[in-house]
Chains A and B, each alone.
Chain A
Amino acid sequence: MNDMRLTERVVTETAKMTARGVQVHYGTNHALKDVDVDILDKTVTAFIGPSGCGKSTFLRCLNRMNDTVASARVTGRIEMDGQDIYDPRVDPVQLRAKVGMVFQKPNPFPKSIYDNVAYGPKIHGLSRNKAELDEIVETSLKKAALWNEVKDRLTAPGTGLSGGQQQRLCIARAVATSPEVLLMDEPCSALDPIATAQVEELIDELRAQFSVVIVTHSMQQAARVSQRTAFFHLGHLVEYGETGHIFTNPSDPRTEAYITGRIG
């Protein structure tokens, strides 16, 4: 079913976020070197590359989560809708409300399933009453393909779910705040093929409303869901372009070596 999308791909060309010359140091470790990427509006962008190459690091630059790492130093320029997100006047809290994130490891709050999803809308004042909040929780859980499994136990602890369910709960939590950009760090690494397919479907749906950036180790997944792909290697952005192009006709020998399974 997913293969059909390759043909009906519509790529908008307006950039939602642009990164120019982004460098990240963790202490003396130069983790990201001179990365230029445009995240296009209403597009799914996939980041691929071998483990430790800096995909998560770059993702965390996009919503300034690296601010919380004491040793991290970010230089370069990242803009969202033409505004520098590292401008001292920018409140990272406001930025993160617009740029949601699903983390590599599932990290539900040790609260009920309902409270997990409702927390974001609550603190951002997205609902006027309980009924609206219930509505948001339900649609978010449905989008994350979790509703059917948890609708009877919304008050049960989120940490009591299985690993894959927890990850989908985190997706629902991120979706609930209706961000403009959604960053997903390997959202499917703990999921079975059926849940994976559901999440991929969700990603495709979300594309209608906002940009999605997804880090994945699965070439097939990148090929299936994304319109743009960036290949990272040892902190460098090696190649970035249309997904079809990267997978069928890579211009860099390292990209070819990686997608054919020779490095990584």
Chain B
Amino acid sequence: MTAPAMAAPAKATSLIEPDARTRRRNASERRFRLLGLSAVGVGLLALVILLTSVLGNGLSAFRQTWITIPVTLDAAVLDKQGNRNPDEMKKVTTLGYGKLVQQALLDALVEKGISTGDLTPKEVMALLSKEAPADLRDAVLADPSLVGQTIAFPAFATSRIDGYFKGRVTRESAERDANISPAQLDLADRMAEAGLIETRFNMGFLTRPDASELRPEAAGLGVAILGSAYMMIVVLVLSLPIGVAASIYLEELAPKNRWTDLIEINIANLAAVPSIVYGILALALFINILGLPQSAPLVGGLVLTLMTLPTIIIATRASLKAVPPSIRDAALGVGASKMQAIFHHVLPLAMPGILTGTILGLARALGESAPLLLIGMVAFVRDFPGAPPQGFLDPAAALPVQVYSWTQRADPAFVERASGAIIVLLAFLMAMNALAIILRRRFERRW
């Protein structure tokens, strides 16, 4: 401290009165705070709008309208040999079951005293989903002892009737609709009053396979969920070990020279490559050159692995870098080898970061559709893929691609189902994020 500075006359300032400088500083701080707050507000608003729109459109996909009628499973029609052998009973096609269901429906209406007005039996039958006879056939083939009994059979209502009870279809729209008439809606109203029609939670939306263009009510996410799950298994099993091994090599073992710099830059660039490019690569490499089947979860998983690897490597390297070097010194100082130092001390400390990065990478892969379109995952698949390992090569669908293909279809009922599929996808993503948080906590508690 020099003498002249000490000698400068002290300005008389009060601690209670802020001076001009402090006031300006505080004002700019308040402005910045406000700016940040409004940015967060905009983000939250966007989230709320997204969620309300998706939930508003999609929640109804989890509910379905059923028409429950007693059906007498006539042995003379369904099992002519009378030995309940499913192989022989397979000869009866859905057409045969269709007649049975139609008769049962008409009988039920008569019994309840519901008049069908001017509607022809065919028009009455049109209230039921085209999937209903097939469902009945599946149920009988699965349990041949049902033949000869009278069972209460819940059949899907067709998507227009379902839409009517959910408010999507009105009498005005029915006037203009070739698939449904107001008279049919009146009949549906009377049936609902008689307790034949009800709307309730539909597990089938999560378990059934996709259905054709004309039967949206029967379409489900089963194959897509299974396909996505298989792909995630492939991605996890491949990308975690490969990514972590590559990161450990690059971060801890590789000499720092021009080559490793080049690799590092390329990995950073790969993370930014549009995902569809990976799809083209996979189409050329896995399908055209290696000859792997199209639409297979294995191939989808391989593409997504390629796509996820850079993300995992970057996250892993960042968390390895964040481990203080003094820990490595400490381990080496007591005579641990480099590998021991890494696996006993560095890796456990980096684990929360690695797991978070991996799960976020997986979540991104789960929501990815573009590369899957190119390897044929958009195909219409009704058969469930088998159990692993064969199942990895069977054709399957994927959740985001299912959303995409449902939005492409004409029937408005598919829009509702696409939104429902988005909700399922979001639920999976949230579950994965929650898992990331839990794992993070669990590993961090070990100091």
Contact = CB atoms under 8 A, between A and B. Distances in A.
A157 B326 CA distance: 17
Interface in A61-92: 63, 65, 68, 70
A159 interface: yes
Interface of B is mostly: helix
B330 A108 contact: yes
B335 to A, nearest CB: 3
Interface in B327-364: 327-338, 340, 344-345, 349
Contacts of A65: 329, 332-333
Given A110-B447, A119-B344, A100 B327 contact: no
Nearest to A119: B334
B256 interface: yes
A170 interface: yes
Contact of A107 (B330, B336, B337, B349): B330
A109 B333 contact: no
Interface of B: 256, 324, 326-338, 340, 344-345, 349, 446-447
A11 interface: no
Contact of B327 (A63, A93, A107): A107
A258 interface: no
A42 interface: no
A211 B330 CA distance: 20
Contact of B326 (A93, A105, A119): A105
Contacts, number: 68
Contact of B335 (A70, A97, A105, A159): A97
A98 B333 CA distance: 10
A174 B331 contact: no
Nearest to B334: A120
A228 B445 CA distance: 46
A26 interface: no
Given A157-B447, A159-B447, A96 B332 contact: yes
A254 B185 CA distance: 107
A177 interface: yes
B295 to A, nearest CB: 47
A68 B329 contact: yes
Given A109-B345, A110-B349, A157-B447, A101 B333 contact: yes
A123 interface: yes
A55 interface: no
The listed residue with most B CB atoms (<10 A of its CB), out of A109, A159, A160, A176, is A109
